[in-house]
Amino acid sequence: MARSALQVFDQVVAASGLRVREGQRLMAEQVALTFSEADLGKPPEDEDGPIEALEPQRSIAVIQAGTGVGKSLAYSVPAIALALARNTRVMISTATVALQEQLVAKDLPALANSLPQPFRFALAKGRGRYVCKLKLDRWSSGSDGGDGDAAWDAEDDLFAEEARPTSAGRSVSLAQEQVERQTFYQDLQRQLERGRWDGDRDQLEQPPEAAWWAAVAAEGSSCTARHCPAYDQCSYYAARKSLVGAQVIVVNHDLLLSSLGSRLLPELDNCLLVLDEAHHLPGIALDQFASSMDLSRLKWIDKLASQAVRTGGLLAVSEVAEIPRISAQLRQLMLDLARLVMHHHGAALKGEEAPAFGSRRGGAGGLANQPGRYRVPRGQLHPELIEPLAQLSHQAQEFLDALRAVSKALRAEIKAQPDQAKRLSQLYAQLGTLAPRLEAVAATTQLMLQDAAEGTAPAAKWFTLATQGDYIVLQAHASPTLPGATLRQHLWSVVRGAVLTSATLTSLGRFDFFLKEVGLFGDPCALALEVQSPFDFARQGRLVLVDDLPDPKDATAYNAAMVQALLRDLQQVEHGALVLFTSRAQLRLADESLPEALREIVLVQTALPRWQLLSRHRERVAAGQPSVIFGMQSFGEGLDLPGPLCEDLFITKLPFSPPDDPVGEARAEWLRQVGRDPFTELVVPATAIRLAQWVGRAIRTEEDEAHVTCYDRRLSRTSYGQRLLQGLPPFTRITRGGPSGAGGPARGA
């Protein structure tokens, strides 16, 4: 099968007139081999269950494909050819919207026209990207929803305790917000009814306010699926229908991980999985399996209890009799826990004059600009917090059990009385909209109470105190510390055939760091392959190492000197340039220091939407004008600026991870505790991958020529800097120094 799939790849390349690339074909060959060796489907069984001797073969390849290899074609063609031959499906998961759009709008349509066997493809999005028509009808009408409550009843306002920011950053009154929100919902309703909008949030001309969208977004907890009276017009289920006959499904890493254990996507033991932009997977896994709960804004508990009791009473659900007691105890336990947290950790969370949690903000307090945070050392909670957390976990689970009984009764009633489906579905939606907050309490308490087994890393646990609108908000957070262990447990235990790929998977010249991060280190079913870029980096690129600026550890002196050197270099820019900053303060200083002549050519990321900034940049360069982008770390990857769009790349500082990441802190603490060095083992390898991504913005095609300038002298002076350099493309290197540090990007050197 692998040979046949590779023949299809060769045919596609020949038919499309593309030049044969040695690296691309090498990657295609490995993809074909990997997927052909994976056993898919359920293992054979006898009367005692699965036959252990015939345990399914897993097959996983980790492939670093340098820029210019053409990795999307190298994995798509053999994967699709094998899926069609094996009567299964391919799932391609990405980290960014940009790559999803490239695959769905460009790469897959082209393949559909060139492969010998037809196939269908579809883009899968999370339910929350689509509008719930039932909720939209209710919120846009402002009329009685059919259950005795007006749509704008304060009891249904989930954001009464939340800040009410607008896109302009101002706060508005409740009455004013209600008018603005209802106008927004009515506009959505008109667009939906007239066919000008399909219910997909991403298709709106302007991104909606997060809180406004949340009120009408589809969610699994509030959805009655086929029993909903709006099912036939449901945007989400209409989109899902396109997945049914698709042999290729494009998803993102978030949706892939959040759907584990459900039937929303193809079963991972019976499909071929491609993980592009795989270097993002560890970080996304940590985010996906983390949880948090609000310990200060608790009105939702009373609302949820009231709705559950009222609804359960209508349906004669006996379990609701205990809800008033359970909810009252839950509320009191959360208040008690909050007081204990403030008693033991308040000094670390707030200044002496900061107001108490849950109160309205007054004139005093030290939280206006910077939230307070306290991380629990070694994951060991103060003894006085353990019992309240255990009780809270128990009460949350009891409440959830009662809610499930009500939900089950509601679904049965909707099925039995279709003429009452709209009213009953609205009741279901009201419960489901609030239920995730209760689920968050249950998940967070369980993770906070989790003790690490001997020799394993404890969960990261921390509390935050911050201002949100008029309130001081105390929250509890917990997260797994090691992404590899999490992915082994939840993902690799069910995957049979997978290819992980990216341009940056090696760190310091080895795959070890990524394999550990992603949970595949030492896995006998996983192999790693590096496919070199076809670019002549020594000819096409210059890496300028600025060696005479102050030590970046002295941030004030360094930033001042760096900005002056940057301003001198920007005067030499002839076409397109990208400047990457590691902090907003650094970017702001450079922006404020711009002389008038340079200010006219600089586009700042924080001042314009991304699409608008990039469009303006392209227009200026196409017109023969210089154009410079000031960007933060998010512009350091996934940004494709070929040719003159990025002839100069300036790196203001080595992109180390933020020093205040509680999960990173907890992991570093554990490494030190077991006698290992977190800087060498964690910080430097992670920085190497990030720096390689940043440098990768410079050369995008075989015709590009670019200069990369790094102002951080640690890259040339330190031992770890030399290791970082080993992981970068082999540009011609130039060290720039001297008493003034002046000079352009050393063109033509």
Residue 226 pLDDT level (bands cut at 50, 70, 90)? confident
Longest dimension (CA), the chain: 85
Find the DSSP H helices in 86-143: 97-102, 108-114, 133-141
% the chain with pLDDT above 70: 90
Cite the residue boundaries of each domain of the chain with CATH code 3.40.50.300.
2-43+55-120+245-287+491-531, 537-736
Contact 58, 11 (CB under 8 A): no
The 10s digit of each residue's pLDDT in 382-417 is 999 999 999 999 999 999 999 999 999 998 998 888
**How high is the pLDDT of residue 142?**
67
Write down the residue that tokens 């050519």 correspond to. 601
**Is 511 strand, coil or helix?**
coil
φ, ψ dihedrals at 696, nearest 5°: -65, -10
Which one-letter DSSP state was computed for residue 223?
-
| pLDDT at 373 > cutoff 70 | yes
Per-residue pLDDT tens over the stretch 237-248: 999 988 988 999
pLDDT tens-digit map of 132-172 = 998 898 888 864 333 334 333 434 444 444 444 444 444 55
**Is residue 142 within 8 Å of 151, Cβ to Cβ?**
yes
At CB < 8 A and 24+ separation, what contacts does 432-435 make?
A: 432/219, 432/220, 432/221, 432/222, 432/223, 432/407, 433/158, 433/215, 433/219, 433/221, 433/222, 434/158, 434/300, 434/303, 434/304, 434/307, 435/221, 435/222, 435/304, 435/400, 435/403
The torsion region of residue 643 among left (phi > 0), alpha (psi -120 to 50) and beta comes to: left
From the list 68, 70, 82, the residue with the least C-alpha distance to 110 is 70
**Mean pLDDT (whole number) for 368-389:** 88
Q: What is the pLDDT of residues 46-97, one digit of tens each?
A: 666 666 557 899 999 999 999 999 999 999 999 999 999 999 999 999 998 7
Residue 292 has pLDDT above 90, yes or no: yes
Segment 566-601, tens digit of pLDDT:
999 999 999 999 999 999 999 999 999 999 999 999
pLDDT at 48: 65
pLDDT at 720: 95
The pairing of strands 706-710 and 648-651 is parallel
pLDDT in tens, 477-500: 999 999 999 999 999 999 999 999
d(CA 136, CA 125): 19
* Whole-number Å distance between alpha carbons of 352 and 366: 8
pLDDT (tens digit, 9 = 90+) per residue, 643-657?
999 999 999 999 998
At residue 176 the predicted structure's pLDDT band, cuts being 50, 70 and 90, is: confident
- pLDDT bin (cut points 50, 70, 90) of residue 202 is confident
Mean pLDDT over residues 297-326, rounded? 93
Q: Which residue has the tokens 């349509």?
A: 109
Spatial CA neighbour of 208 closest among 194, 187, 234? 187
* Sign (positive or negative) of CA dihedral 355, 473, 340, 286: negative
- Please give the mean pLDDT across all residues of the chain: 88
pLDDT (tens digit per residue) in 3-44: 999 999 999 999 888 788 899 999 999 999 999 999 998 776
pLDDT for the residue 639: 86
635: Cβ contacts below 8 Å, ≥ 6 apart: 578, 580, 605, 629, 697
Contacts 24+ apart (CB under 8 A), 102-108: 102/72, 103/72, 103/76, 103/250, 104/250, 107/72, 107/73, 107/76, 108/76, 108/248, 108/250
> May I ask the CATH architecture of the domain 537-736?
3-Layer(aba) Sandwich (3.40)
Bridge partners, residue 61, by sequence: 499, 527
Write out pLDDT tens, residues 702-733.
999 999 999 999 999 999 999 999 999 999 99
Q: Calculate mean pLDDT across residues 310-322.
A: 91
In this predicted model, what pLDDT tens digit does every residue of 664-710 receive, in sequence order? Answer: 999 999 999 999 999 999 999 999 999 999 999 999 999 999 999 99
Number of H helices, E strands in the chain: 27, 20
- Can you give the pLDDT at residue 358? 46
CATH match for 2-43+55-120+245-287+491-531 among 3.40.50.300, 1.10.540.10, 3.10.450.50, 3.30.300.130: 3.40.50.300
Question: How many CB atoms lie under 10 A from the CB of residue 26?
Answer: 18
How many CB atoms neighbour CB 339 within 10 A? 16
Categorize the per-residue pLDDT at 252 as very low, low, confident or very high, splitting at 50, 70 and 90.
Answer: very high
Give tens-digit pLDDT for 514-568: 999 999 999 999 999 999 999 999 999 999 999 999 999 999 999 999 999 999 9
pLDDT given for residue 115 in this prediction: 92
425 to 41, 77, 318, 386: CA distances (angstroms)? 37, 44, 20, 39
Q: What is the 3-state secondary structure (H, E, C) of 454-491?
A: CCCCCCEEEEEEEEECCEEEEEEEEECCCHHHHHHHHH
For residues 622 and 246, give the distance between their C-alpha atoms in angstroms, rounded to a whole number. 39
- DSSP code of residue 331: H
The pLDDT score that the predictor gives to residue 434 is 87
